[in-house]
Structures are given as C-alpha cells and as structure tokens.
Amino acid sequence: MLNRYRKIGALNKYCSQNNAQKIEPPTPGSVISFSKHSRLMRVPWVVFADFEFFIKPIDTCQLDPGVSYTNKYQKHTPSSFCYYIKCFDDGVYLHERTMFTAKDDDVAQISIVWKGKIRGIYNRFKHPKT
C-alpha cells in the first residue's frame, strides 16, 4: 500500500503503530482465489502502445556550472510504433495489431491516428444501450 505523508512525524507515528510489510508467497501446490467480488472492477477496453526511437548524440558546448541548466546530450527520434486495442469481448469490437515503421515520414504525427480511433470507440460506446 502506498501512503503519502506531509510531515516526518506522521510517518514515524504510522510506522511505530504498524508492523512492517511482509511478502508471503503461496506455498507450492496451493490455490489462490479472489473472494471480494463486490470490489471487482471490469475494464472493457485496454490499449497497448509502444514507440521505438533512434537515439542520436547531440554536440554540446561547455556550460557554466554556476547557472542552472539542462544538459541535452541525446535526441530521441521516433522510428516506429505499434498499438493494439483489446475489448473484453471480441464480438463487440475486434481490432488487429497496427504497426508503422518510418521511412521519411513523421512517425509522431502519424501515430496521432490511433488516438482518433480511441476517441471513436469512446464515442460509440459511451452510452450503453439499456
């Protein structure tokens, strides 16, 4: 469980009143089951997306150590992307994996098309039929 604390005193108080977290893996051959079905959340759509980049070094000059700066030393140029839209039921929506590899095209600009497909899916299914 992740908790945020604004003051170190609150963290110390919490830690002093609770045991340390311990991970206990299941014993071999045992079965793990989910029992709190009221807390189940169905996710009807999942989008998997990945970009690949060429990394090119950037020539830089000597920077002044007395001034705050960001030292840019690499340029990431997108070279390809792939995305896959998965619905919980292939009978409702079925989508093939889409891949694109750059030749002379702007990969980032072309990848915006998949955002349009996601918006179209949202608009199509945002009001379920009753």
Distance in angstroms between the alpha carbons of the first and the last residue of the chain: 37
Per-residue pLDDT 10s for the chain (130 aa) are: 455 666 777 767 767 777 666 667 788 899 888 788 787 767 788 888 888 888 888 887 777 788 887 778 888 888 888 888 888 888 888 888 888 887 766 777 777 777 777 788 888 777 766 5
3-state SS track over the chain: CCCCCCCHHHHHHHHHHCCCCCCCCCCCCCCCCCCCHHHCCCCCEEEEEEEEEEEEECCCCCCCCCCCCCCCCEEEEEEEEEEEEEECCCCCCCCCCEEEECCCCCHHHHHHHHHHHHHHHHHHHCCCCC
Q: How far apart are CA 104 and CA 49, in angstroms?
A: 21
pLDDT at 1: 44
pLDDT at 128: 63
Annotated domain spans of the chain: 40-62+70-130
